Amino acid sequence: MKTLVVGSGAREHAIAAKLETDPEVTEVHAAPGNPGIPESRRHDVAADDVRGLVALAEELGFGPDDLVVIGPEAPLVAGVADRLREAGLSVFGPSKEAARIEGSKAFAKDVMAEAGVLTAHSEGLTAGSSERDISDVLDRFGPRFVVKDDGLAGGKGVVVTEDRQAAREHIEAVLGSGSPVLVESFLAGPELSLFLLVDGETVVPLLPAQDHKRAYDNDEGPNTGGMGAYAPLPWLPDGAVERIVEEVARPVAKELNRRGAPFSGLLYAGLAWGEEGPAVIEFNARFGDPETQAILSLLKTPLGGLLHAVATGRLAEQPPLKWEDGSAVTVVLAAEGYPGRPAKGRPIIGLPEDTDEAYVLHAGTSLDEEGRLVSSGGRVLSAVGRGRDLGEARGRAYRALEPIELQGSFYRRDIGDKAAGIDLS
């Protein structure tokens, strides 16, 4: 089986690296990929260039027995998967209509309401909303305000604050950009991410993980696309994953089917685990970053055949997934200025040798005119550590970051510390 991974981040690097270990996969290509992927397998085609992707697949001799995996959300929401399927390709990733579960938070709320899925109460505001409308909505929420950009915002369109003025300013900024806003009630309880392979109404969960969204230690600073993650979750109650599948994923999959938009791909459920169990914070329509890096490092089941089964409607025929024992941790190395205006073009040196226990995945990297590895995005690298337990995995991930030099870069030093029982104070 030949495979083509669409995208350029650490998520795509993790998928490509995992596909390389699948004995059924003969070739792994990336478009456009990043310098962590061998140059001979990288192709200078943008993730949203449908014609370029179809032409590349034809050039590489792809047929229905091969596989295209779409990593980022924007191409999915734009309908790239539909166009590639029309060209006769087997594609892992939902249709444009099904991807609205991520592309529009209002649509996701409507689906959950029809499916009877527990989530936060919300009210919407649009560009025509007046100052009085904004004040009235804020009066009905609080003392902690949750304000979300209704569209795609790369994980940075959410503000959670007890400062009413900060909530108002974010509302005005999002409305000023032309996007609608949702104001939600705050969901109490620890957060988790559960990735679910979905093929129509067939749902297969992966390992639960926890992301760390804030930029700095102790959950301080602005929201980011994610500064680190760990899997699995030692604090999650027994039977929790099964509850999420039965109370959240299957009802949503059935409702999308009922609407004529069956989901095929990876449904990402971001949840809060409260006194009543799981409540949905958000849905994404693809593998999440940085959770993917940790989760895939523990997957023993060959990835290529699994994703191809989803793409071709055969997920129900697959045997139960197999997992490595132990834990995995991802720590993100970010560029100076992230998540605002990250510094780019700075040299990166000191990357360690990859081992089975720890390795580094590329995200915002590129090669300059002299062939040097330089930063080219906000989240630059992801260090992944595996171990017998969470503490050992954390130690290995952080040791992999120690020799790396990138001027002004930073990373959180508390990824997974609470779950591991580590006091960094």
Whether 89 and 22 share a structural domain: yes
Give pLDDT, residue 154.
60
Q: Is residue 104 part of a domain?
A: no
Show the domain range for 31: 2-93
* Spatial distance between the Cα atoms of 147 and 149, rounded to a whole number of angstroms: 7
Provide Rg for the chain, Cα atoms. Answer: 21
Tell me how many domains the chain contains.
Answer: 4
Judgement on whether residues 177 and 194 belong to the same structural domain of the protein = no
Clarify whether residues 178 and 258 are in a common domain.
no
Instruction: Write the CATH number for 129.
Output: 3.30.1490.20
Nearest Cα residue to 11 out of 273, 191, 193 = 193
- Residue 359 counted as domain residue: yes
Same domain, 216 and 280: yes
* Residue 245 within a domain: yes
Assigned domain for 405 exists: yes
Structure confidence at residue 263 (pLDDT): 98
> How would you write the pLDDT of the chain (425 residues) with one tens digit per residue?
999 999 999 999 999 999 999 999 999 999 999 999 999 999 999 999 999 999 999 999 999 999 999 999 999 999 999 999 999 999 999 999 999 999 998 899 999 999 999 998 888 888 878 888 888 889 888 788 888 887 776 655 788 888 899 889 889 988 988 888 888 888 889 999 999 999 999 999 999 999 999 999 999 999 899 999 999 999 999 999 999 999 999 999 999 999 999 999 999 999 999 988 999 999 999 999 999 999 999 999 999 999 999 999 999 999 999 999 999 999 999 999 999 999 999 999 999 999 999 999 999 999 999 999 999 999 999 999 999 999 999 999 999 999 999 999 999 999 999 998 877 65
Tell whether omega for the bond before 290 is within 30 degrees of 0, i.e. cis. Answer: yes
For residues 244 and 271, state if they share a domain.
yes
pLDDT of residue 155: 57
Is position 102 within any domain?
no
Q: Is residue 256 part of a domain?
A: yes
| Same domain (yes/no): 52, 13 | yes
CA separation for the pair 326, 324 (Å, rounded) = 6
We report the CATH number of the domain holding residue 387 as: 3.90.600.10
48-80 burial string, b = 16+ CB within 10 Å, else e? ebbebbbebbeeeebeeebbbbbbbbbbbbbeb
